[in-house]
Amino acid sequence: MADDLVEGVTRAGLPGAKASARYVRVSPTKARRVVDLVRGRSVSEALDILRFAPQAASDDVYKVVASAAANAENNHSLDPATLWVGEVYVDEGPTLKRIRPRAQGRAYRIRKRTSHITVVVESREPVSAAGRGAKTTRRAR
């Protein structure tokens, strides 16, 4: 998806950076629950959410978001205050297959799933609180 990130420009044409963690030992389904919490938020807000999220996958997602923000700051000289989580997705990695012995000589297969977590941050101008939800008043005719 984000393979077309070339020279610090995202698919939306905004400056940004990418980071990914591969072969993370967490189920992709559980990791997707966590990345849905931070998609479209500012990086500082996303890191605050992930820091206090009770899910175990939030630690791994936190590291990837922080790494993408550091890549944007160090490699592309972007201001950390203007960074937003633009694209974040979880792909399925290889599955480790294990065996659990059961009664009467049987064996159940245990699937230990892995994930590839990818985060693309992009630099946008911050939206002011007044501009985001402010209602305009209409004049009476």
SS (H, E, C) 3-61: HHCECCECCCCCEEEEEEEEEECCCHHHHHHHHHHHCCCEHHHHHHHHHHCCCCHHHHH
Dist CA 3 CA 42 (whole Å): 22
- The label of the residue with tokens 């500012």 reads 42
Closest CA to 60 of 20, 1, 95: 20
Contact 26, 112 (CB under 8 A): no
Is-above-0.85 flag for pTM? no
Does residue 134 lie within any of the structural domains? no
Could you read off the pLDDT of 62-89 as tens digits, one per residue? 999 999 999 999 998 899 999 999 999 9
Number of folded domains in the chain? 1
Which CATH number fits the domain that encloses residue 13? Answer: 3.90.470.10
Does residue 133 lie within any of the structural domains? no
User: What residues make up the domain containing 116?
Assistant: 2-126
Could you read off the pLDDT of 90-121 as tens digits, one per residue? 999 999 999 999 999 999 999 999 999 999 99
